[in-house]
Structure formats: C-alpha cells, structure tokens
Amino acid sequence: MPEGPEIRRAADRVGKAIAGRPATAVSFAFEHLKRWEPVLSGRRVERVDAWGKAMLTRFEGGLVVYSHNQLYGRWYVRNAGSLPDTNRQLRFAVHNASKSALLYSASEIDVLEAEHLDAHPFLAKLGPDLLDRSLAEKDLRARLRSDAYRGRQLAAVYLDQGFLAGLGNYLRAEILFLAGVHPKARVKDLDAAGVRKLAKATLEVGQRAYATGGRTLDERTFARVKKQGGTRRELRFFVYGRKGRPCHRCGTRIRRIDAGGRHIFFCPTCQPR
DNA sequence: TCTTTATGGTGAG
DNA sequence: TCACCCTAAAGAT
C-alpha cells in the first residue's frame, strides 16, 4: 500500500478498528521499542492519521506510534484472537476487546511524543498532505510557482515529500500525463493555463486514487478499457507501468525514461517537450 | 520455475 | 550511485 491514497485508506480502516477504544495490548517486534509495550497497553487510541505516506497512531497521553510502510509494509485488521495467514513478519500490533490491527513487514516504526513530532527527521521534512481537504487549487498554484519549486524538473518536484506529502512514482506519472506536461518540464516553462491544469490534475488524481483504492483512470476510460478486456494494470493507469503499450488517449506508444532518479512513464504525444 | 522489478526511503561512499 | 530493508507479482526461460 505504498502511496498517500493507499496509506490514508489503511489509516481509515485501522482507525475504524481501534480508534476511540482502549488498547488491551500493544506489541512491537523491535527490541528498542519493547519498553513501550507496558506504557501503551491499556491506553485509549485517540485517532489514526495519515500524513503523506506516514501513519500516526495516536494514544491518549500524547504518545504517537509513527510507522512508514515503505514498499512492503502492510496492515491487516482481524477479529480479536485471529491472525492473517502470512509468512510476513509482524512488527507492531494493537489489540482491543474485539479487533486487532497488525502491521507486518514495515521496518520504520517509532514511538514519539505528540508535541515533538517535528523533531522526527522524516516528518519534519513533509509538506502539506496531498489529500488534505483544506489544500485548494490556488494554494497549490502558489506553491508550484514559489522559488523552491518553479525552477526544478517536475519529475523531481513530484517525488519530493516536502512539496506534497503522499506523492509517489505512480501518482507523479499519472498527474503529469493528465496535465499534459513532459516529465522534464519545469514550472517556469508553463504558462498560467498550464499551471492551472497541473494543479487541478494533482488534486483530482490524488482524490480519485483515494476513492478507488489506487486507480487513476477516470470512469469513462475505465469503462472503455474494461470493455476491451484490459488487464489489471491497463485498467488502473494511463501511463504508469505501460511502456510500449498504446496511450489510452491517442494510441502512441508509452515511453519510459529516467527522471528525478526513478523511472517515469509518459506519452510523447500527449506530453510534448 | 527462475529472475527481475517495484507504488519508498536511508545511509554510506 | 549503491547497498540495504522488506515481499509479491510480472516477466523470462
């Protein structure tokens, strides 16, 4: 569940199981965190938040469990007393009278004090959350045009968690496609309409991915590709992971290049240089 | 069935 | 830039 929208859905799911109730038991796999088990056990879970790709499990008394799934971390919610059938490694668990929330495979877990979250090296660098309802298009346009970002390649800006927390490699490819922007373009190369389109696509794609569980295709394209018998990936993305496949919009073969240190996919016709 | 790759991020060189 | 932490699915054979 790697990018912001998937993490937020996981936080929703986990929160539904454990927020607002006392944790009857809390456990950690890492030795250096075991001292927190008796401290957190018995405390009420206040909320489970997502901030970009980070998850914050907030306990009463101002203690917060920070976790980051990176590529492989995965949350399971089970009825109390049962565990998922998996060979993965259990790293963090919160149990209450009826449910268990279980985090497997994650290697980034820590216990922090709520008032010192910004002392955490990763959290301190995060920009506003991509899915934050109060993030308006005009705020995003101003951010794009600010000195920090206007001169950098969009391919790099759209991986930078300080620009928007929760963006990742599939979201950047899909957003730049829908904005009609070449990955190596810079904000300062765009006209006002281009910046407007980019800001709009950013929020739209983020929200759609959240609503659908990671699909960025709009309903109409999704229905059309489905009728043609598209595969899983064809039904999910416009360009991501589709090297050599025909563009869903114009039929041109999708290309893959390196930009911002990772592979990015784009349509050379829909996203001209 | 084996090998490669990946939606992430850190830390060392 | 690379090794590393984790694991599963896709691709190659």
Whether residues A32 and A105 share a domain: the answer is yes
Which nucleotides in chain B lie less than 7 Å from some protein C-beta? 6-11
User: pLDDT digit string (tens) for A84-112?
Assistant: 999 999 999 999 999 999 999 999 999 99
Tokens of A251: 């039929």
Question: What is the average pLDDT value for chain A, to the nearest integer?
Answer: 96
Domain-embedded: residue A88: yes
Whether residues A155 and A38 share a domain: the answer is no
Closest to A26 in 3D by CA, of A52, A58, A62: A58
> Residue A214: which CATH number?
1.10.8.50
Whether residues A67 and A152 share a domain: the answer is no
Which nucleotides in chain C lie less than 7 Å from some protein C-beta? 1, 5-8, 10
Q: Does the pTM of the predicted model rise above 0.95?
A: yes
Whether residues A16 and A89 share a domain: the answer is yes
Select from A67, A90, A125 the last residue of a domain.
A125
Domain-embedded: residue A273: no
> Is the Cβ–Cβ distance between A64 and A58 less than 8 Å?
yes
- Please give the pLDDT value at position A1: 60
C1' (B6) to CA (A152) span, angstroms: 25
The residue-averaged pLDDT of A252-273 equals 95
Pick out residues 99-158 of chain A having their CB under 7 A from any atom of nucleic acid strand C: 104-105, 107
C-beta atoms surrounding A210 within 10 Å: 21
Whether residues A82 and A110 share a domain: the answer is yes
CB within 8 Å of A93: residues ≥ 6 apart: A25, A26, A27, A100, A101, A102, A103
Q: Which nucleotide comes closest to A86 if you measure CA to C1'? A: C7
3-class DSSP state for residue A103?
strand
Q: How many helices (H) and strands (E) does chain A have?
A: 7, 10
User: What DSSP string runs through A204-248?
Assistant: HHHHHHHHHTS--S-HHHHHHHHHTT--TTTTT-SSTT-TTSBPT
- Tell me how far CA of residue A11 lies from CA of A49, A117, A148, A249, A270, in angstroms: 6, 18, 30, 34, 35
Domain-embedded: residue A271: no
The residue-averaged pLDDT of A225-249 equals 92
Whether residues A153 and A238 share a domain: the answer is yes
Domain-embedded: residue A38: yes
- Please give the pLDDT value at position A232: 83
C1' (C1) to CA (A183) span, angstroms: 22
User: pLDDT digit string (tens) for A109-164?
Assistant: 999 999 999 999 999 999 999 999 999 999 999 999 999 999 999 999 999 999 99
- Please give the pLDDT value at position A208: 97
Whether residues A153 and A248 share a domain: the answer is yes
Domain interval for residue A215? 137-266
Whether residues A65 and A162 share a domain: the answer is no
What domain count does chain A have?
2
Q: Which nucleotide comes closest to A5 if you measure CA to C1'? A: B7
Domain-embedded: residue A198: yes
Domain-embedded: residue A95: yes
A269 touches strand C (CB under 7 A): no
Asked whether residue A257 carries a pLDDT value surpassing 90, the answer given is yes
Whether residues A161 and A46 share a domain: the answer is no
Whether residues A170 and A262 share a domain: the answer is yes
Backbone angles phi, psi at A190, to 5 degrees: -90, 150
Whether residues A10 and A97 share a domain: the answer is yes
Domain-embedded: residue A132: no
Domain-embedded: residue A175: yes
Whether residues A145 and A59 share a domain: the answer is no
